[in-house]
């Protein structure tokens, strides 16, 4: 199931989500055309139960799809919508609107307004599923106040009390950082592989001192280290998605997001080191990937956030050998 | 490269996982009184009586066929056993090489007579092996070995020298990589493996003291040692191929993740106390788990490939280079944690263990192939060489 789904998405993205399209959406903030292509093919309904018209998949089935969103630097919230629609369906919401939905953790102010900082893909998403520690709201971005955040497609979003009241309120709540951590670990694993492959290709093509730079031992060893981090991140992302429901496991996401974020930093630095000045240009595609390595490392909790989550689990809630926590995080059916 | 996404999350089968309860009960009892700085020696710890006890319980040669005294189980069963041995810091050094690689090598390349002769005592924990690869002028450049076995009427005459041979002074046999034809410049051609009975005349073993004061490795001299015909293991001239296959077993196992784990658990016990717990130490503990967990999943996935008869050499090199990195991070980061506190009231046993592991940690990324050799192998796997 996973492979069929991934193969279909790969073909679509090959055609529709080229680097030129990504650049154009980053410039305009308008991802509507690409979104329609992806949504009409059903990918965003992958985690929705079959009874609600979805594909009825579980988390471990969609790692491939989420990793492809990283590998193709997809500038619309496919993985986020997939997760949001699943949560809404499981909450019994019928008739979820067609647009894209991203995820955010928010805090409701005393005056009833709601603000979310650095909403992932908040500039292009049609709606945001926001959770605080009591409720969730599905809120349109249409009339919300959106201001630029650090990543070009992200936004700080503010809804007035009136807009919040007009939105759909759910009595459930969810740790959105957990979901974004899981999604971004998977996206990072795909983007890391893409960056690694591009850098390997470049090292084989670029000739200096009369031979491809990939023939020099110093470059070879840097590529080996990139391979190690990409390889470990791929396994970490599998752990993050190792769930036979639609909800990820907190300890596994902590491992996944921490490890892929650590890899993102190392691999981004090494890829730029090997590419030299050309990799630093707007024109060369590497930047589309390495800017996202940093963005996804940050969003949903950077490595130290998840290190602390894991550490508290180990120190405060477990007894005995560290092996037993490692085993429970890794010895899973997936 | 396809290798990078070739490993899939794999669960250890329930039958093999079931061994854990039994071995853990035994180890909890057997290791209870042993202090952490001794347990930290782990697979360098030498205790023949302990090895015989493991043999008696059927835990040595567990992957060998029952016909040779083994357990007839798969690589996952051994994984579970070894993971427990290492995490408890059991002294498994005596039988380690025989169980991990000499036995499997004999099983794969040996004659029926050799299997009948060598394997049953390995499974009983009575026969210990060492690996004769490095020589004074052949370290990373292993193909340049000069120790030579010359054909005689009755077998072979062996002359030369091996060095850095772990536990040679406690072992009964060495499987040595030697030149049987050609010269050093013939490189991989003309190398063979021979089993040397270390009690034979002409063999001299001299322990070398390491920087921690231990003597776990040795130099071994061969002065016209007379070997029988059947000392040759595998095919004459195929030594290089055999050694390469042997190293795949050596590079991806749990021993590439857990060399510092006794220290980690000793420190963990400290930071679980009110006086030991700080936000920084909690975060560091999480950081180390976040690195170890994916590596363990990778190591288990490689084990699954081994059970299918594959030889995932490049994957094993990736895991070993990363794994030894974490093993070396553990003592470095724990030292920073405990020596950056206002209070210097640190348990003495933790400090002893930290001191020992700090001293031996450099060896983690030397034994079984240095970092640079591994990264070169990975580069070759990437098509760069």
Phi-psi region of A202 (alpha: psi -120 to 50; beta: other; left: phi over 0): alpha
Average pLDDT over residues B101-114: 96
Rounded to 5°, the CA angle B236-B242-B245 comes to 170
Average pLDDT over residues A164-169: 95
The closest alpha carbon to B195, from B239, B235, B232, B145, belongs to B232
The residues, any chain, with a CB within 8 Å of residue B171's CB and separated by 6 or more, are B97, B128, B129, B130, B198
Minimal Cα distance from B378: which residue of A? Answer: A224
Strand (E) positions, chain B? Answer: 129-132, 148-151, 155-166, 173-179, 191-197, 203-208, 217-228, 232-233
Residue B2: pLDDT over 60? no
CATH architecture of B2-127: Orthogonal Bundle (1.10)
Mean pLDDT (whole number) for B343-361: 96
DSSP-assigned states of every residue in A147-211 = EE-SSTT-EEEEE-HHHHHHSEEES----HHHHHHHHHHHHHHHHHHHHHHHHHHHHHH-EETTE
Cβ contact (<8 Å) for B286 and A312? yes
Structure tokens at B186: 């013939």
The answer to whether B298 faces chain A, any CB pair under 8 Å, is yes
CB within 8 Å: A315 and B272: yes
Judge contact between A16 and A37, C-beta under 8 A. Answer: yes
How confident is residue B1, by pLDDT bands cut at 50, 70 and 90? Answer: very low
Question: With contacts defined as CB-CB under 8 Å, which chain A residues touch B294?
Answer: 232-233, 235-236, 239, 255, 259, 330
For β-strands B191-197 and B173-179, DSSP reports them as antiparallel
CATH fold of B252-381, please?
Butyryl-CoA Dehydrogenase, subunit A; domain 3 (1.20.140)
Cα–Cα dist B297/B284, whole Å: 21
pLDDT over 80 at B6, yes or no: no
Contact predicate A254/A302, CB 8 Å? no
The closest CB to that of A332, out of B9, B289, B315, belongs to: B9
Residue B126 CA to residue B109 CA, distance in Å, equals 22
pLDDT one-digit tens code per residue, A73-127: 999 999 999 999 999 999 999 888 889 999 999 999 999 999 999 999 999 999 9
**Residue-by-residue DSSP string for B58-85:** T-SSTTS-GGGT-----HHHHHHHHHHH
Q: What is the per-residue DSSP string for A221-277?
A: HHHHHHHHHHHHHHHHHHHHT--SSSS--HHHHHHHHHHHHHHHHHHHHHHHHHHGG
* φ/ψ of residue A257, rounded to 5: -70, -40
pLDDT of residue B245: 77
Of A259, A315, A334, the CB nearest to B285: A315
* The pLDDT value given to residue A244: 93
Closest chain B residue to A198 measured between Cα atoms? B1
Quote the pLDDT of residue A334.
Answer: 45
Partner residue facing A238 (CB), from B9, B261, B282: B9
CB-CB under 8 Å, A306 with B290: yes
Domain map of chain A by residue range? 2-170, 176-330
Q: Is B268 on the interface with A (CB under 8 A)?
A: yes
The pTM is what?
0.96
Q: Is the pLDDT of residue A2 over 60?
A: no
Rounded CA gap, B21 and B81, in Å? 10
Which two structure tokens, joined as six digits, stand for B195? 């089993």
Query: Is residue B5 very low, low, confident or very high in pLDDT (cuts 50, 70, 90)?
Result: low
Query: What fold, for B131-237?
Result: Butyryl-CoA Dehydrogenase, subunit A; domain 2 (2.40.110)
d(C-alpha B11, C-alpha A307), whole Å: 24
Q: What is the pLDDT of residue B7?
A: 87
Q: What pLDDT score does B4 carry?
A: 64
Average of per-residue pLDDT values in chain B:
94
Q: Give the domain ranges of chain B.
A: 2-127, 131-237, 252-381
- What pLDDT, on a 0 to 100 scale, did the predictor assign at position B246? 74
Chosen for mutation from A203, A221, A224, A244 (greatest number of chain B CBs closer than 10 Å) is: A224
pLDDT digits (tens, 9 = 90+) for B76-86: 999 999 999 99
- Residue B308's pLDDT band, with cuts at 50, 70 and 90, is confident
Enumerate residues 6+ apart whose C-beta is below 8 A from A65: A2, A5, A6, A9, A43, A46, A78, A79, A82
Identical fold for domains B131-237 and B252-381, yes or no, is no
Residues of B within 8 A of A193 (CB-CB) are 4-5
Cβ distance of A331 and B277 shorter than 8 Å: no
> How is residue B89 written in tokens?
């810091």
Q: Which residue has the higher pLDDT, B354 or B367?
A: B354
- Lowest average pLDDT, out of A89-93, A149-153, A269-273, B221-225, goes to A89-93
- Enter the ipTM: 0.96
Q: What is the pLDDT of residue B244?
A: 83
Distance, CA of A120 to CA of A237 (rounded, Å): 19
Mean pLDDT (whole number) for B10-23: 96
pLDDT at A133 over 50: yes
Chain A residues touching B12 at Cβ < 8 A? 331
Q: Provide CB contacts within 8 A for B232, sequence distance 6+.
A: B156, B180, B192, B193, B194
More confident residue, A97 or B134: B134
For B314, list phi and psi in degrees, rounded to 5.
-70, -45
Give the phi and the psi of residue A259 in degrees, each rounded to 5. Answer: -70, -40
Residue B310, token pair as written in the block: 């594959």
**A–B: how many Cβ contacts below 8 A?**
175
Nearest to B246 by CA among B142, B357, B126, B94: B142
Q: Give the count of beta carbons closer than 10 Å to the beta carbon of residue A58.
A: 17
* Structure confidence at residue B3 as a pLDDT band (50, 70, 90): low
pLDDT of residue B311: 80
Model confidence pLDDT, tens digit, residues B58-74:
999 999 999 999 999 99
3-state secondary structure of A50: helix
* CATH dotted code for A176-330: 1.20.140.10
What is residue B36's predicted lDDT score, i.e. its pLDDT?
A: 98
Q: A187-219 pLDDT, tens per residue? A: 999 999 999 999 999 999 999 999 999 999 999
Report which of A153, A73, A77, A167 is spatially closest to residue A118, judged by C-alpha positions: A153
Residue B39 in this model has a pLDDT that exceeds 50: yes
Q: What is the DSSP string of A135-146?
A: -EEEEESSSSEE
On whether the CB atoms of residues A124 and A81 are closer than 8 A, the answer is: no
Provide the 8-state DSSP code for B11: P
């Amino acid at each position: 199931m996973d492979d069929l789904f991934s193969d279909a998405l790969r073909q679509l993205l090959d055609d529709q989500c080229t680097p030129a399209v990504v650049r154009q959406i980053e410039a305009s903030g308008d991802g509507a055309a690409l979104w329609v292509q992806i949504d009409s093919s059903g990918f965003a309904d992958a985690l929705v139960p079959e009874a609600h018209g979805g594909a009825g998949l579980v988390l471990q089935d969609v790692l491939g799809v989420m990793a492809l969103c990283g590998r193709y630097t997809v500038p619309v919230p496919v993985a986020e919508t997939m997760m949001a629609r699943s949560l809404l369906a499981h909450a019994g919401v019928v008739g979820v609107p067609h647009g894209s939905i991203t995820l955010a953790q928010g805090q409701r102010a005393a005056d009833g307004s709601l603000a979310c900082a650095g909403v992932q893909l908040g500039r292009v998403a049609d709606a945001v599923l926001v959770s605080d520690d009591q409720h969730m709201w599905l809120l349109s971005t249409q009339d919300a106040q959106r201001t630029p955040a650090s990543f070009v497609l992200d936004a700080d979003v503010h809804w007035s009390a009136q807009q919040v009241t007009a939105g759909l309120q759910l009595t459930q709540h969810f740790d959105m950082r957990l979901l974004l951590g899981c999604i971004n670990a998977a996206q990072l694993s795909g983007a890391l592989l893409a960056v690694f492959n591009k850098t390997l290709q470049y090292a084989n093509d670029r000739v200096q001192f009369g031979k491809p730079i990939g023939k020099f031992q110093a470059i070879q060893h840097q590529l080996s280290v990139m391979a190690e981090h990409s390889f470990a991140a791929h396994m970490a992302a599998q752990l993050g998605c190792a769930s036979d429901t639609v909800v990820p496991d907190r300890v596994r996401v902590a491992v996944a997001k921490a490890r892929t974020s650590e890899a993102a930093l190392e691999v981004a630095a090494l890829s730029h080191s090997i590419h030299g000045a050309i990799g630093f240009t707007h024109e060369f595609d590497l930047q589309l990937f390495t800017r996202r390595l940093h963005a996804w490392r940050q969003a949903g909790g950077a490595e130290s956030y998840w290190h602390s989550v894991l550490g508290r689990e180990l120190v405060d809630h477990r007894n005995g050998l560290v092996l037993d926590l490692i085993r429970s995080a890794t010895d899973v059916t997936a | 490269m396809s290798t990078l996404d070739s490993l899939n999350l794999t669960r250890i089968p329930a039958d093999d996982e079931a061994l854990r309860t039994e071995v853990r009960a035994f180890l909890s009892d057997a290791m209870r009184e042993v202090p952490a700085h001794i347990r930290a020696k782990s697979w360098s710890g030498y205790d023949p009586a302990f090895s015989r006890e493991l043999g008696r319980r059927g835990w040595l040669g567990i992957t060998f066929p029952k016909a040779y005294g083994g357990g007839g189980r798969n690589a996952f069963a051994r994984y579970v056993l070894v993971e427990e041995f290492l995490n408890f810091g059991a002294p498994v050094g005596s039988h380690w090489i025989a169980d991990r690689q000499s036995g499997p090598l004999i099983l794969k390349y040996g004659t029926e007579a050799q299997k009948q002769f060598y394997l049953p005592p390995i499974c009983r924990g009575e026969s210990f092996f060492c690996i004769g690869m490095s020589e004074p002028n052949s370290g990373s450049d292993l193909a340049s070995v000069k120790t030579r076995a010359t054909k005689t009427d009755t077998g072979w005459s062996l002359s030369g020298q091996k060095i850095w041979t772990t536990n040679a002074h406690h072992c009964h046999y060495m499987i040595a990589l030697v030149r049987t034809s050609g010269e050093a410049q013939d490189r991989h051609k003309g190398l063979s493996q021979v089993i040397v009975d270390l009690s034979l005349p002409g063999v001299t073993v001299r322990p070398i003291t390491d920087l921690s004061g231990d003597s776990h490795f040795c130099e071994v001299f061969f002065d016209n040692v007379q070997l029988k015909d059947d000392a040759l293991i595998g095919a004459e001239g195929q030594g290089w191929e055999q050694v390469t296959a042997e190293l795949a077993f050596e590079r991806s196992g749990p021993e590439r993740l857990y060399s510092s784990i006794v220290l980690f658990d000793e420190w963990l016990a400290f930071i679980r106390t009110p006086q030991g717990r700080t936000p920084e130490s909690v975060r560091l503990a999480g950081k180390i788990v976040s690195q170890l967990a994916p590596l363990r999943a990778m190591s288990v996935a490689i084990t699954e490939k081994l059970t299918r008869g594959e030889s995932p050499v490049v994957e094993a090199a990736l895991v070993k280079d990363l794994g030894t990195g974490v093993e070396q991070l553990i003592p470095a980061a724990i030292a920073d944690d405990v020596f950056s506190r206002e209070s210097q009231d640190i348990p003495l046993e933790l400090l002893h263990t930290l001191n020992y592991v700090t001293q031996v940690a450099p060896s983690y990324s030397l034994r079984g192939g240095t970092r640079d050799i591994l990264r070169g192998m990975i580069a070759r796997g990437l098509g760069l060489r």
